[in-house]
Amino acid sequence: MKAIIPNLQNNSSAPLYLQLYHYMKTAILDGSILPMEKLPSLRGLSQSLDLSLTTIELAYNQLLVEGYIYSKPQSGYFVNKISAGMGSVRKDEGADFQKPVRLPEADPFSDFEKNEYFDVSCFDFVKWKKCINQVLTEYSHLLLREGDSQGEMALRHEISKYVYQSRGVTCTPDQIVIGAGTQQIMGQLCTILIKMGMKHVTVEEPGYLPVRNIFRDRDFAITSVPVGKEGISISRLPANISSAVYVSPSNQFPTGYVMPIGKRYELLGWAMKNDSIIIEDDYDSELRYFGKPIPSLQGLDHNQRVVYLGSFSTTLFPSIKISYMVLPPNMAAIFDPIRGDYTQTCSKTEQLTLAIYMSKGLYQTNIKKLRTLYSQKLQTVLSVLSKWGADFIRPVNSSSGINMLISVRSKKSSARLCQEADELGISTLPVTTFTGAAAESTATLIFNYNQIPIDRIEAALRGLIEKWKHDA
């Protein structure tokens, strides 16, 4: 064995034990110290190198824990046989991670600067901040535990009160499951449906694509059924098999169509007759602009046929990821024994914040404010469109929600129209991405008008009309 004579630097930034460890590792890797060789004893090396026993111990410990050496009781330390892949050891593996990694030159906060419209009047972050600070001050010890896999009880309690008052949904907090977004919730729902023996789902066409991705990932057979002015075509739903149908009856996405009461009873009848389940996505029905909300299917159902889905993204702020489902009692019973299999994805801090926000009545106040604001925006959009774009832009549906469908007569493709809107900071989405239909001479787009501050809508839209008109 080569003598262990490391060239240690007392004035180096690396501690002595690390220098020694490094020296010995290199010696082992380059064969200067051979496998199975016995190393000097701790005390022996401490004396020969004039280093403290602790320094030697730390270096040996590190070599030990990384597997370069091993210890035999009563015998001492020996070099390990390290066979595979030794030729490919990089010089920079090990302790020297100080070399800066190459990173993109751009400022990582640069996406903070995008040329987009933001309507900061949509949400009062000052009140939200007060609630979040209350959680971080008064309840911070609770954050030292993982969240409830089903969602925080305090929030489920508030939700059960709220959905009853606003949507006629009857449930206890035990029937509610909270998750970070509809996709997440649907993943858990898939597990329950599979346990019930269901592997077939019907979705709306056009409809909400992210939900389909989850069904696809879980190997469900998926049927698409067209949506008409009264919602999904019930006569085309599968009969004689137990299946699930995913619908958004109160504000169909993206058409905005509303399923009338008679159709709702018909749909419930279909579910009863075929031992099937209706998944009712009620995602922003609170933002209807006239009359009171239409009763939910869940509230009409007496036979445990409806799973109700709700979300806070459109009524608080878009980046908050808090969604929930209300399971019928029999499905909640199926979920109960497996709930521990899934960790909670939704921020506990934000769940507790929302529970406080709702219990103070701030959520309800915000919804009222949003309904007024968005209906004013809608009126503005409609009047600007009819004034400046009536000849080639037609609103398709505009009774509720935070966006509207528009039909644009143009030689340009949907993708091109959306790109041109994007260049002006205006958010649109081609409906073809939802239906998969080919582009025609008339494009149907989802127009997210709610992102534009009300006093800038006219100028923004006129700019868009001018751009789209060109070559239209």
Residues 341-360 that bind a copy of itself (CB under 8 A): 341-350, 355
| CA-closest candidate to residue 342, choices 184, 114, 466 | 184
Q: Burial of 134 by CB count in 10 Å (0-12 exposed, 13-18 middle, 19+ buried)?
A: middle
Name the minimum Å distance from CB 180 to a copy of itself. 4
Total site size for a copy of itself, rule CB under 8 A = 127
| Alpha carbon 311 to its chain's center | 12
Give the one residue of 230, 275, 420, 458 binding a copy of itself; rule: CB under 8 A: 230
Q: Which 133-192 residues touch a copy of itself, going by CB under 8 A?
A: 133, 136-137, 139-148, 153-154, 156-158, 160-161, 164-168, 170-173, 179-184, 187, 190-191
Give the three-class secondary structure for 214. helix
Instruction: Kindly tell me which of 120 and 438 has the beta carbon lying closer to a copy of itself.
Output: 120
Give the one residue of 118, 383, 436, 442 binding a copy of itself; rule: CB under 8 A: 118
User: Which DSSP letter does residue 209 get?
Assistant: H
Strand partners, 397: 405
Dist CA 336 CA 331 (whole Å): 9
Contact mark string toward a copy of itself, 375..414, x via CB under 8 A: ------------------------x---------------
Give the one residue of 39, 451, 457, 460 binding a copy of itself; rule: CB under 8 A: 451
Strand order in the sheet with 442-447: 393-397, 404-409, 442-447, 428-430
Instruction: Kindly tell me which of 148 and 205 has the beta carbon lying closer to a copy of itself.
Output: 148
310 binds a copy of itself (CB under 8 A): no
262 binds a copy of itself (CB under 8 A): yes
The strand ranges marked E within 33-150 are 69-72, 76-79
CB of 23 within 8 A of CB of 12?
Answer: no
Q: Considering only the stretches 3-11, 254-262, 375-383, 417-425, report the one whose residues sit in contact with a copy of itself under the rule CB under 8 A.
A: 254-262
Q: Considering only the stretches 124-132, 369-377, 438-446, 455-463, report the one whose residues sit in contact with a copy of itself under the rule CB under 8 A.
A: 124-132
31 binds a copy of itself (CB under 8 A): no
Name the minimum Å distance from CB 458 to a copy of itself. 21
304 binds a copy of itself (CB under 8 A): no
Give the one residue of 2, 43, 129, 368 binding a copy of itself; rule: CB under 8 A: 129
Dist CA 271 CA 305 (whole Å): 6
Dist CA 66 CA 62 (whole Å): 6
Q: Considering only the stretches 37-45, 83-91, 236-244, 363-371, report the one whose residues sit in contact with a copy of itself under the rule CB under 8 A.
A: 83-91
Name the minimum Å distance from CB 423 to a copy of itself. 17
Residue the block writes with tokens 């000052």: 126
Q: Considering only the stretches 79-87, 196-204, 380-388, 390-398, report the one whose residues sit in contact with a copy of itself under the rule CB under 8 A.
A: 79-87
Instruction: Kindly tell me which of 50 and 111 has the beta carbon lying closer to a copy of itself.
Output: 111
Instruction: Kindly tell me which of 72 and 102 has the beta carbon lying closer to a copy of itself.
Output: 102
Task: Please state, as a whole number, how many other Cβ atoms lie within 10 Å of the Cβ of residue 168.
Answer: 15
CB of 175 within 8 A of CB of 326?
Answer: yes
Instruction: Kindly tell me which of 206 and 389 has the beta carbon lying closer to a copy of itself.
Output: 206
Instruction: Kindly tell me which of 348 and 412 has the beta carbon lying closer to a copy of itself.
Output: 348
Q: What angle do CA 183, 377, 430 make, to 5 degrees?
A: 45
Name the minimum Å distance from CB 152 to a copy of itself. 8
281 binds a copy of itself (CB under 8 A): no
Name the minimum Å distance from CB 386 to a copy of itself. 19
The token pair that represents 13 in the structure block = 């930034």
Q: Which 186-225 residues touch a copy of itself, going by CB under 8 A?
A: 187, 190-191, 209-210, 213, 217-219
Give the one residue of 292, 438, 441, 471 binding a copy of itself; rule: CB under 8 A: 292
112 binds a copy of itself (CB under 8 A): yes
Q: Considering only the stretches 4-12, 43-51, 195-203, 285-293, report the one whose residues sit in contact with a copy of itself under the rule CB under 8 A.
A: 285-293
Name the minimum Å distance from CB 154 to a copy of itself. 5
The token pair that represents 31 in the structure block = 């064969």
Name the minimum Å distance from CB 237 to a copy of itself. 13
78 binds a copy of itself (CB under 8 A): no
What are 235-241's contacts with CB under 8 Å, separation 24+?
237/202, 237/270, 237/274, 237/276, 238/200, 238/202, 238/274, 239/270, 239/273, 239/274, 240/274, 241/200, 241/274, 241/276
Task: Please state, as a whole number, how many other Cβ atoms lie within 10 Å of the Cβ of residue 226.
Answer: 12
Name the minimum Å distance from CB 83 to a copy of itself. 7
The token pair that represents 177 in the structure block = 């499951």
Give the three-class secondary structure for 419. helix
- DSSP letter string, 423-465: HTT--EEETHHHH-PPP-SEEEEEE-GGGS-GGGHHHHHHHHH
CB of 281 within 8 A of CB of 254?
Answer: no
